[in-house]
A and B are shown apart, each in its own frame.
Chain A
Amino acid sequence: MSRLPHGGLIDRSRSVSFMFDGKSYGAHPGDTVASALLANGAQLMGRSFKYHRPRGVLTAGSEEPNALIEVGSGASRLPNTRATVQEVFAGLETQSQNRWPTLGFDIKEALDLAHPFLGAGFYYKTFMWPRAAWLHFWEPIIRRAAGLGRLSGEADPAVYDKAWKHCDLLVVGAGPAGLMAALTAGRAGKRVVLADEDFVLGGRLQSEALEVGGESSRAWVSKVVGELVNLPNVTVMKRTTITGAYDGGTYGALERVADHLPDAQGAPQQIFWRIVAKHTILAGGAHERPIAFPNNDRPGIMLASAVRSYIHRYGVLPARRWVVFANNNEGLRTAHDLLKAGAEVTLVDTRKDAHPEISCRHLTGAEVVNTRGRLGLKAVQVRLASGTTEWIEADGLAMAGGWNPSVHLTCHMGARPAWQEDIAAFVPRAGAVPGLVAVGAASGAFTTQAALRAGAEAAAKAMGVKPADTPKAEDAPYEIKPFWHVLAKGRAWLDFQNDVTVKDVVQAHAENMQSVEHMKRYTTLGMATDQGKTANIGALAVMAGLTGQSIPETGTTMFRPPYTPVQMGALGGPHVGAGFAPEQLMPADKFARDRGANWVEMGLWQRPSLFKQGDERTWRQSCDREVLMVRGAVGVTEVSTLGKIEVQGPDAADFLDRIFLTPMKKLKPGRIRYGLMLRRDGFVMDDGTVARLAEDHFVLHPTTGASAEVLSHLEFCAHVRWPTLDVQIIDVTENWAQMAVHGPMARKVLDGPAFMHFQAMEIEGVQARVFGVSYCGEAGFEIAVPARYGNALMAWLLAKAKALGGGLYGLEALNVMRVEKGYLTHAEIDGRVSHHDLGFPTPEKYFIGKDMAAREGLRGPELVGLKTVGTVKALVGGALLVEGEFSADNVVGHVTSAVFSPTLGHMVALGLLENGRARHGETVQMVDAVSGITATCEIGPPVFLDAKGERLRA
């Protein structure tokens, strides 16, 4: 056991057990999987991506490249979770990944022996011949050999949510700088959101032995957090990662609500927040960087800051005999803490002039040149300043290579960070993200005192208030002498996750990958779950050494959202399955459901497609019966999805006259007209009926699917084009239930207005608008009542229709009838047809799109009716019309809509055909190359039934 007898932020009074690779481990609440495994003496936690090298933890945070595990089982299994952030809870199931058969004995570790052949670019060069073999043979093999965790392959059963938050100040990170910022703004009554990815607030203050304001840093954090959570204007969000910075002060944030709980108990697993902040303070701290030396990737080798985290926060001493390898003062700090925890320590400092005051062996001007120990570190080889080498037995090695400010968020809007020579690191560029200021370690100010002060001052400045008093804290200077990699024989890892070594960067450079971006892509440096948080700068330094340029001249690396991996489920939120899109229900939806309708989606609308009866087995049987019922007696269907736009005002008639190609000025009150409107570019936008209810009051019925576009177009014209016209427009689509009653018996159901007349009527005490219009070609009406009467009106109409031998019908039958009549829908008005093509003459008067529609080039295939005359009787919507041999050159049009007409006993279709109107009576070939159907069609006018409209006026 490696658990220290006391200390740490764990609840030692309680024990929980969890599973890792089928074995049960004990832990305390407050542990992560990584700290618990270390406490149990288990250092081996993963295998590397390419060489399957045994790996332990490198870090104690979200930047962890090595210790990736699968969490959960079955459909809930989540791969690539960092063991360093996964909280332990009772019953947690985890396993290692990318190994077979076991973590300790992985067959593919043999790949490590083949490493001389497997350097950067190996795959590109080796598996080139024959060409096809890559895709079908090599790539599948390599894909299986390399890799991270496995997806479950099943739908994720967890529930996710999305939400918004707004605040005056967003504080990213709850370390010393973040806490002081939140305190300053919070005490001043500002709306503050304090977000931290960790489940414990305080940042490094929880991971070091520090004093703040004369008390332990942990006590100070507790006091400040206690004050913050009690301020009603401050929202403290633990387990919440700010994932990205976007325009207008908008930030993405992932809150892990239930990842640390055995059961979400109805709460979402995670919530993806969008936080809109007037000001933002980035206090995200810094990441320590490793040093590249041969075999620096063995289990037991970790960052110095991680070692101190495991000691102070988790009460774990991961190993007993340590070598601390540093190029800055953090080595001394780590050695002190290790000694205090009872470890043996050798301090190796690359700086010749460092003279640490410490009671352990310390070697200055020395370097670690090799290590031993396959599944766990056993010994460290050190090259002394004198040049002689020496093996030191050790099971732990702490690397302190300096700190990289976490500049990531400041790069998300395209800015690149700036190099700061004295700390040998990139720092955020001022103004990189509007409204965001980086403070503390995130800005390169590495002392606790500086972080506390900067947090308070930045918040005070942004909010225009007084800063909170800064408590006294450690203010020792950070002294670093840049040292990136040890010159010695053997592979020295830069990117632990992607198995990129110094050698690979050297090779990329040798092969003329001059740009950092090329080097990254060639070597895969900085990819996958950690996005190079511990790797990028080291590689850049190696590259700079090779090119002879400085690091800032060599380049920077871009960081893009998200900061840490975000599950697709969280981005999708609740919009999966039935929740993928909202469902729009018609007012009498219940009425149709109660009668067993079949349903079809029209955009978001749910519409009955048909009502099966008796022993009808196919949709055609029901559809045919419904068509014949309407044509023979009377049918009722709900058409509430139709757009309903009211246009009112003294200039309404003038306005609509400009909108529609069809003249509207002289339309009399109480009358209805069919209208066609064009887009500004001259193509047809939509058609529909226009009823003039009163001198200054019109109702438009645009097509269901075009209603939103038409509304926006009308508003554009009223507001932007002709603001002097006195006209008001409102969409009332959802306010009215509209039912269609048509057929020879329709007038017996309701004695309504004549064809193309409007009448306000009272039906059973309800005010109704009755329109004498028809989309099926039979006499009848569309009756609109306030939406809440939809079900009642349907019941009333159906009872009457049934008594007359009629009944309900659905969208399929309606579509058949409109094709029989040659009425248009957006299969014909497909955005590429002009009014000429549809057979409408151009009136004298002005209308939108008139000039543009007059262009010669806008004349295209013309609307025709088609019926088969050969032995093949099938017509297919979307099929091509062909003259002569079937070839691309001989295509002369296409079928827009095809249906079987039970009224006529054969199929009928509408189509767009070149020069079609002049060809009535001739034939053309219909070719459906997909299903292999060819039929000879006779061309005719686009109407198959009652061309004179006598049934309509009956």
Chain B
Amino acid sequence: MRLNCPHCGARDSREFNYFGDAKTARGDDFASTYLRDNPIGEHAELWQHVSGCRAWLEVVRNVTTHEVISVKEVGQ
């Protein structure tokens, strides 16, 4: 799988670490920490480009087909 990092361009997924449902980024209360969606289809996720620019990215990805719909820096 490849992700199109807004800073570095398209890179193989092994350059990135996966941190799950993007909703968990909101806080450190119970819901943000533990409750996450597990949808079929499109899913907004957090990834970090650890072997690149180290930016935190919000990736919308179809978890069934692995199609990457969008990649943006968190907060942009």
Contacts and interface: CB of A to CB of B under 8 A. Distances in A.
B40 interface: no
B1 A712 contact: no
Contacts of A246: 1
B46 interface: yes
A852 interface: yes
Contact of B33 (A274, A413, A680): A680
A147 B46 CA distance: 48
Given A250-B12, A681-B33, A849-B28, A719 B1 contact: no
Interface in A839-874: 848-852
Interface in A685-741: 712, 715-716, 719-721, 723
B11 to A, nearest CB: 10
Nearest to B17: A712
Contacts of B50: 712
Interface string A396-430: 00000000000000000100000000000000000
A222 B12 CA distance: 36
Contacts of A413: 65-66
B2 A276 contact: yes
B75 interface: yes
B25 interface: yes
Contacts of B65: 413
A365 interface: no
Interface string A422-463: 000000000000100000000000000000000000000000
Contact of B48 (A274, A276, A716, A723): A716
B16 to A, nearest CB: 11
A922 interface: no
Contacts of A434: 67
| Residue in A246, A720, A848 with the greatest tally of chain B CB atoms within 10 Å | A720
Interface residues of B, number: 27
Contacts of A849: 28
Given A247-B66, A715-B56, A716-B56, A721 B2 contact: no
Interface string A770-788: 0000000000000000000
Contacts of B33: 680-681, 852
Contact of B75 (A248, A720, A848, A851): A720
Nearest to B50: A712
B59 to A, nearest CB: 12
B28 A680 contact: yes
Given A276-B12, A720-B56, A852 B48 contact: no
Contacts of B46: 720
A249 interface: yes
Contacts of A715: 48, 54, 56
Interface in B1-29: 1-2, 10, 12-13, 17, 19, 25, 27-29
Nearest to B74: A720
A719 B68 contact: no
Interface in B25-43: 25, 27-30, 32-34
A247 B1 contact: yes
A753 B58 CA distance: 45
Contacts of B13: 247-248
B28 A852 contact: yes
A683 to B, nearest CB: 11
Given A247-B66, A716-B48, A719-B74, A851 B2 contact: no
Contacts of B54: 715
Contacts of B55: 719
B28 A248 contact: no
Contacts of A723: 74-75
A249 B12 CA distance: 10
Nearest to A723: B75
Interface string A299-318: 00000000000000000000
For A248, A712, A851, the residue with the greatest tally of chain B CB atoms inside 10 Å of its CB is A248
Given A249-B2, A434-B67, A723-B75, A712 B28 contact: no
Contact of A247 (B2, B25, B28, B32): B2
Nearest to A719: B56
A719 B1 CA distance: 24
10 contacts: A248-B2, A250-B2, A276-B2, A413-B65, A715-B54, A719-B75, A721-B27, A723-B75, A852-B28, A852-B30
Given A247-B13, A413-B65, 10 more contacts: A248-B10, A249-B2, A250-B12, A681-B33, A712-B50, A720-B25, A721-B25, A851-B29, A851-B30, A852-B30
Which 3 residue pairs of A and B lie closest in terms of their CB atoms, listed nearest first?
A248-B2, A247-B1, A680-B28
